[in-house]
């Protein structure tokens, strides 16, 4: 029965493709994005002008999150600021500047401080976190029961380009005008004008 229903939905979609050209469907998707952006905007502490996000968006602790002007995030953007977890209290501060764009499937996690500057371009599947899910001393405790631990904030300065599937770990500062190559894992800080790449990320050259 389930397969018959799936087949019906596929065929129905195929029929709609003749009735409603892709351009028309794209306009509908754009309208839905603006409606959703207006709805979710009120869930944050502060949001600037020209705020646009795709559906769905996953959020936790919006009252600790500040976003500047001209922010864009594509579908499945995941942003969370936890003030408590497993009995431990946190004071998260998550600030995103002006003219910041995130592509699909990005995740920002904060229990301490994450500061993202102005004019930042972020590719898809990027993960930025200021904490670890537990520590080695508690390795016999199930991971979901371990308290979250932060070794320091994440600060991304202005005019940084972050490539596809990059991971930025806690206690890291990325200097302004830097580029992070695809699939890099950033475990330490780098000065401004750095081109970095690798696992763990290393300085390739100064721009």
Please identify every residue annotated as catalytic: 131
Contacts for 156 with CB less than 8 Å, ≥ 6 apart: 115, 116, 117, 120, 128, 162, 168, 173, 174
CB proximity list for 82: less than 8 A, separation 6 or greater: 60, 61, 90, 92, 109, 110, 111, 148
Alpha helices in 42-181 (DSSP H): none
**Phi, psi angle pair for 4, to nearest 5°:** -65, -40
| Neighbour order of strands in the sheet with 185-186 | 57-60, 77-81, 107-110, 127-129, 167-168, 185-186
Token look-up 């600037």 returns 48
The whole-angstrom separation of Cα 100 and Cα 121 is 6
Among 77, 87, 6, smallest CA distance to 44 is for 77
First to last CA, the chain: 60
Task: List Cα–Cα distances, 8 to 2, 16, 25, in angstroms.
Answer: 10, 12, 20
């Amino acid at each position: 029965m389930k397969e018959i229903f799936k087949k019906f939905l596929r065929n129905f979609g195929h029929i709609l493709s003749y009735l409603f050209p892709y351009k028309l469907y794209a306009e509908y998707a754009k309208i839905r994005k603006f409606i959703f952006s207006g709805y979710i905007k009120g869930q944050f502490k502060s949001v600037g002008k020209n705020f646009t996000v795709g559906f769905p968006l996953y959020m936790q602790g919006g009252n600790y999150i500040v976003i500047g002007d001209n922010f864009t995030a594509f579908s499945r953007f995941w942003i969370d600021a936890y003030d408590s977890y497993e009995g431990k209290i946190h004071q998260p501060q998550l600030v995103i500047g002006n003219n910041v764009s995130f592509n699909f499937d990005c995740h920002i996690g904060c229990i301490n401080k994450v500061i993202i500057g102005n004019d930042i371009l972020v590719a898809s599947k990027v993960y930025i976190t200021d904490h670890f899910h537990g520590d080695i001393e508690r390795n016999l405790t199930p991971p979901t029961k371990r308290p979250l631990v932060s070794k320091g904030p994440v600060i991304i300065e202005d005019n940084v380009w972050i490539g596809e599937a990059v991971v930025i770990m806690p206690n890291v500062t990325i200097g302004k005008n830097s580029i992070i190559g695809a699939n890099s894992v950033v475990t330490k800080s780098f000065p401004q004008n750095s081109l970095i790449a690798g696992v763990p990320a290393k300085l390739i050259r100064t721009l």
